[in-house]
Structure 1
């Protein structure tokens, strides 16, 4: 994690971060990092306490960026990650991001095409999973 609470994605064969991190949109990578941290927290009963505490600390540090991501998958990954923060004050993230996804769906939805984007690409199932998680977390019938 960088000092500002975001994550980089690209490394070279020696483990050094590359310039590609400055050139590419890293929203999806950051969303996947949030999801991974959430999964670690979700496995708290199986993992050493120090690892879970570190995951919670990192997730809390990156939480300030959760609302600035607008990539479909980054929002979905973020919803999944924060859903593991039971008893924490992250419910707002899991309420706002699904609303954005619903708006994307409504924008793209036609009689012939019913999806959140005008194309299919990698990891499409994560969007549906995130919407189910958001509904389960918020019980919002609009999701």
Structure 2
């Protein structure tokens, strides 16, 4: 799969293992092993996948620019009062809400409607890549 998607194998394995730890995938080791979904695709949101790979930390962290600027105060909680921080937090909440509404099943259905031959074509390409063709 790494070769097919032109990714370093170690990188792909790290991401797949993160998905296993999050309960999104199951893995079976050995020559006939591999990965499969641990839950039905309707039960896996895009947010589940993002959190498994990226973690649950904030996408934006206030680094104290206002505190360190002229007129800044060490006593103020700029992370809470900073308009940039508030704007970014609002955007992140909106982004996470939208990702939580999208299931991987819904994405797969959209792809299949838009590209009816995508599944068969991808499987054939993966088989070809696996056999070295």
TM-score by length of 1: 0.25
Greater relative contact order: 1 or 2 (C-alpha under 8 angstroms, separation 6 or more)?
2
Instruction: Identify the structure with the greater strand proportion.
Output: 2
TM-score by length of 2: 0.27
